[in-house]
Chains A and B, each alone.
Chain A
Amino acid sequence: MSRDPVERPPLPSVWQSPRVRALAFQGLALALLLGFGAFIVGNTVANLSKQGIASGFGFMGTTAGFGISMSLIEYAEEHSYFRVFIVGLLNTLLVSAIGIVLATLLGFVLGIMRLSPNWLVAKVAAVYVEVVRNLPLLLQIFFWYFGILRQLPGPRQSVALFDSVFLNNRGLFTPEPVPEPGFAAIPGALLVAVVVSLGLARWARRRRDRTGQPFHTVYVALGLLIGLPMLAAAAAGFPLRWEYPALEGFNFVGGMELIPELVALVVALSTYTAAFIGEIVRAGILGVNRGQIEAAQAVGLRRGPMLRLVVLPQALRIIIPPLTSQYLNLTKNSSLAAAIAYPDLVLVFAGTVLMQTGQAVEIICITMAVYLTLSLTISLFMNWYNRGIALVER
């Protein structure tokens, strides 16, 4: 009888392997997702062209034809919409950067104030936080903008300081430094001073760890940072000219101009976000082990150095993650600039350009992508910083 002497079990079907099944389902899900995405995009493009609405990104090369009140780079009406996009983006970045710095400073002060043993100081901080946190940001922006504007005089009646700084309801006008040839030596000297200071700090810290001798790093670094550029300036013959603002006709011409919209927006954003950051800082400080504070007091540290050397470094680990959220909030809230005529990305790009070209879908997608990138960059940096100061567990 022909019978196989060795009973072979039937080969298992390829689907019985869990790995194969998992891969197959992942592939199917991915294909469905891509198909859905393609359908959405294709449907949008088809409907837009059916209605005769222009689509595509070619509009970025079209001439803009309108003016912008504040621009960090060269801008005129003949430039393209792409240039408008860059101008708006830079203005948003400016507001966000200044706002983040000011909000952090004010927030830390507020948080520490609220924990002060001085009853009045603590209560002032508490009242500030409660009031500012609970009012809508848009109202606060309007308050600062119209509050500032109503008090300031017109250009002809400006408040003048030393006849070179002028304040009126069109903005703050200060003299502008105009670099002459040979100016590059000064930032170069500054860079050298920064590098030398950093190296000096490292050397001083190593020497102190080895021998215990202290070193006045801060004073020496300060001297270098101021002295070296001044030496370079003197050597180059002071290649700096100041351009003074002068009233011509309706407004001031020349000098640097700080428009009231920017000031109102920065002040409103900073004070609003600082209230939240103050609470986060307070939470961080309260989260540090009580034993640390008692040990610091036992060693003889006063309140200031105790905060700086013992409490804050440990509190920072608690503070950083929610602080990141507040930074992202501030960046996104800067889009409220559209309510007070500050030419940020939303006002000039997702406002005027969207209006003039009618291509709402493309423009809103670009604007959302920009804010997404900005937020992701900030949170990436903060997470890297957080990892850097994390407790190294044994």
Chain B
Amino acid sequence: MRVVRMLGILVALGSLTLVSGAGAGTLDDVKKRGFIQCGVSQGNPGFSNPDARGNWTGLDVDLCRAVAAAVLGDANKVKYTPLSAKERFTALQSGEIDVLSRTTTWTLVRDTALGLNFAGVNYYDGQGFLVPKKLNVKSAKQLNGASVCVAIGTTTELNLADYFRANNMNYKPVVFEKADEVLAAYDTGRCDVYTTDRSSVAAQRTKLKDPEAHVVLPEIISKEPLGPVVRHGDDQWFDVVKWTLYAMLEAEEYGVNSENVDKLKAGAKDPVVRRLLGLEGDMGKSLGVGNEWAYHIVKQVGNYGESYERHVGPKTPLKLARGANALWKDGGLQYAMPIR
């Protein structure tokens, strides 16, 4: 009897091992769950920042909202997980978040060895330096021997090493985990230089005690294409996120914005606009979402230009010109693939 009981327990335990992770696609998970889990930064003004009431806003946040609008029809069905540079990839790899929209640079190692897929570039950036005005430094080439505050595990850390090595200069790195700690150390004078992506430099500068006492050096020492990230092995979800970004760009290219989208939905003549807003074709259904996916995106979040102007444009405290982020028609790099 005791033997039979033991065998029974063993069989029960053994059957547990057969139940492996079912690997259902993220799209189905999201639809079942009713909201998207979006990984964002811990406070990067302009890209993902909570306001005084805890509502998240920013360019990266808008992308997550657009995906929610496309998949679930409601841009507010998003839950945000603030992540440091150290945790962001493990959170995505482990399934804790569905999409990582956190000013993450697209590199080969991340695309391959980390098991991630980059669903496009929503901001073309480069690495820059911030120094106090009183140091009288005019160029990054004068920074030999400086102490540099940097965040851990970022391309910033590696590019910094490369740049100083290439220019035969020495530096002393001071490496923190959270962006706030890096900035605080720079503000107290622990280091001479603060470095991260140019856009984040502008954003974090607004958080300093005296923003006007600091100057951004002219050099941009690297390419930092920032974009949303999803996991390997989930092609359908990858397509959804990718084409959400393209829909926002295509909408701006063809003059569809949140103000005129209703009018255009009622009676648009341009076949491109008709396809975009779901009046013709089955674009949404091919993606696995409703045919009004792009309409919801533009109506609730806006097109790329609107999102840019609202969060990081020249009228915001960040004052970032479109530059490389203008549409290809206007001399920039943002190019949407045809939605047809």
Interface residues of A (CB under 8 A from B): 39, 43, 47-48, 50-54, 65-69, 77, 146, 149-150, 154, 169-170, 248-251, 253, 260, 338-341, 343, 347, 351-352, 354-360
CB distance from A252 to the nearest CB of B (A): 9
Chain B residues with CB under 8 A of A150: 188
**A340–B152 Cα gap in the complex (Å)?**
12
**A53–B109 Cα gap in the complex (Å)?**
10
Q: Are A354 and B190 in contact (CB under 8 A)?
A: no
Chain A residues with CB under 8 A of B157: 66-67, 352
Query: Which listed residue, B89, B113, B145, touches A248 by the CB 8 Å rule?
Result: B145
**A356–B176 Cα gap in the complex (Å)?**
15
Chain B residues with CB under 8 A of A54: 112-115
8 Å CB contacts to A: which residues of B122-153?
Answer: 135, 143-147, 152-153
Chain B residues with CB under 8 A of A356: 109, 153, 158
| Chain A binder among B46-54, B167-175, B197-205, B325-333 | B167-175
- Chain B interface SS verdict (over half): mixed
- On whether A250 and B165 interact (CB within 8 A), knowing A39-B17, A53-B114, A358-B115, the answer reads no
Interface string of B267-285 (1 = CB under 8 A from A): 0000000000000000000
Chain A residues with CB under 8 A of B135: 250
**A146–B187 Cα gap in the complex (Å)?**
12
Q: Are A338 and B114 in contact (CB under 8 A)?
A: no
Given contacts A66-B157, A77-B162, A357-B109, 14 further A-B contacts (CB under 8 A): A52-B112, A66-B160, A66-B161, A67-B164, A69-B172, A69-B174, A69-B175, A146-B188, A250-B135, A251-B146, A251-B172, A260-B190, A347-B152, A355-B89
Of chain B, the residue at the smallest CB distance from A48 is B115
Chain A residues with CB under 8 A of B109: 356-358
Chain B residues with CB under 8 A of A50: 233
Interface residues of B (CB under 8 A from A): 17, 20-21, 85-86, 89-90, 93, 109-110, 112-115, 135, 143-147, 152-154, 157-158, 160-162, 164-165, 171-177, 181, 184-185, 188-190, 192, 231-233
Chain B residues with CB under 8 A of A66: 157-158, 160-161, 173
**A67–B171 Cα gap in the complex (Å)?**
8
Write 15 A-B pairs (CB below 8 A) sorted by A numbering. Answer: A51-B231, A51-B232, A53-B93, A54-B112, A54-B113, A69-B172, A69-B175, A77-B161, A149-B188, A250-B135, A260-B190, A341-B175, A357-B114, A358-B89, A358-B109
Of chain A, the residue at the smallest CB distance from B177 is A338
Q: Are B231 and A250 in contact (CB under 8 A)?
A: no
**A65–B164 Cα gap in the complex (Å)?**
11
CB distance from A373 to the nearest CB of B (A): 24
Chain B residues with CB under 8 A of A48: 115
Q: Are A67 and B115 in contact (CB under 8 A)?
A: no
Chain A residues with CB under 8 A of B232: 51-53
Chain A residues with CB under 8 A of B164: 67
**A351–B144 Cα gap in the complex (Å)?**
26
Q: Are A67 and B161 in contact (CB under 8 A)?
A: yes
**10 smallest beta-carbon distances between A and B, as pairs:** A355-B153, A358-B114, A53-B115, A52-B232, A54-B113, A52-B115, A250-B146, A51-B115, A67-B173, A77-B161
Chain B residues with CB under 8 A of A343: 175
CB distance from B206 to the nearest CB of A (A): 22
CB distance from A304 to the nearest CB of B (A): 44
Of chain B, the residue at the smallest CB distance from A142 is B181
Q: Are A355 and B160 in contact (CB under 8 A)?
A: no
Chain A residues with CB under 8 A of B85: 355
- On whether A352 and B145 interact (CB within 8 A), knowing A77-B161, A341-B174, A360-B90, the answer reads no
Query: Which listed residue, B113, B175, B184, touches A357 by the CB 8 Å rule?
Result: B113
Chain B residues with CB under 8 A of A251: 145-147, 172
Of chain A, the residue at the smallest CB distance from B174 is A341
CB distance from B191 to the nearest CB of A (A): 8
Query: Which listed residue, A39, A250, A338, touches B192 by the CB 8 Å rule?
Result: A250
Of chain A, the residue at the smallest CB distance from B234 is A51
**A43–B17 Cα gap in the complex (Å)?**
10
Most interface-central of A66, A251, A343, A351 (chain B CB within 10 A): A66
CB distance from B146 to the nearest CB of A (A): 4
Q: Are A170 and B147 in contact (CB under 8 A)?
A: yes
Q: Are A68 and B146 in contact (CB under 8 A)?
A: no
- On whether A149 and B190 interact (CB within 8 A), knowing A67-B171, A69-B174, A355-B154, the answer reads yes
CB distance from B86 to the nearest CB of A (A): 6
Query: Which listed residue, A43, A347, A358, touches B175 by the CB 8 Å rule?
Result: A347
Of chain A, the residue at the smallest CB distance from B23 is A50
**A356–B152 Cα gap in the complex (Å)?**
10
Chain A residues with CB under 8 A of B177: 338-339, 347, 351
Chain A residues with CB under 8 A of B161: 65-67, 77
**A149–B187 Cα gap in the complex (Å)?**
11
CB distance from A141 to the nearest CB of B (A): 12
Query: Which listed residue, B17, B144, B181, touches A249 by the CB 8 Å rule?
Result: B144
Q: Are A355 and B86 in contact (CB under 8 A)?
A: yes
**A199–B238 Cα gap in the complex (Å)?**
75
CB distance from A70 to the nearest CB of B (A): 9
Q: Are B165 and A249 in contact (CB under 8 A)?
A: no
- On whether A250 and B145 interact (CB within 8 A), knowing A47-B21, A69-B172, A343-B175, the answer reads yes
Q: Are A53 and B113 in contact (CB under 8 A)?
A: yes
CB distance from A382 to the nearest CB of B (A): 33
Q: Are B146 and A52 in contact (CB under 8 A)?
A: no
CB distance from A101 to the nearest CB of B (A): 27
Chain B residues with CB under 8 A of A260: 190
Chain B residues with CB under 8 A of A354: 86, 153
